[in-house]
Amino acid sequence: MSENNSNVLHEVYNVIVDRQKNPKEGSYTNYLFDKGIDKICKKVGEEASEVIIAAKNTNKSEVTYEISDLLYHLMVLMVEQKIELNDVFKELEGRR
């Protein structure tokens, strides 16, 4: 993975922040924000379950796809809760 690829987390996070500040009609992200915390948490739970099922099927491309969905929904939850990526990075650094 190149260093530029790791920036995608920041890019996606920033799009989510922008959608919250500047809603865009037809945006799935805005749909989640409009539905609120219960819907966002429900989606995080659903996506986590899909990761588990994909992993049990030992299908790398399916697991990768589902992890990507989970990360996206976690970032929506983070923005809703006013948690920044750097907050998570700092927490993880403290666990090394």
Task: Kindly report the CATH number assigned to the domain that includes residue 37.
Answer: 1.10.287.1080
First to last CA, the chain: 21
- Residue 30, number of CB atoms within 10 A of its CB: 16
In a domain, 10, yes or no: yes
Q: Indicate the average pLDDT of the chain.
A: 94
In a domain, 47, yes or no: yes
User: What's the domain count of the chain?
Assistant: 1
Report the pLDDT value the prediction gives residue 5, as an integer from 0 to 100. Answer: 75
Mean pLDDT, residues 4-23 taken together = 93
In a domain, 59, yes or no: yes
Report the pLDDT value the prediction gives residue 2, as an integer from 0 to 100. Answer: 56
Q: What is the pLDDT of residues 42-89, one digit of tens each?
A: 999 999 999 999 999 998 999 999 999 999 999 999 999 999 999 999
DSSP character at residue 22: S
- Structural domain of 74: 3-91
In a domain, 96, yes or no: no
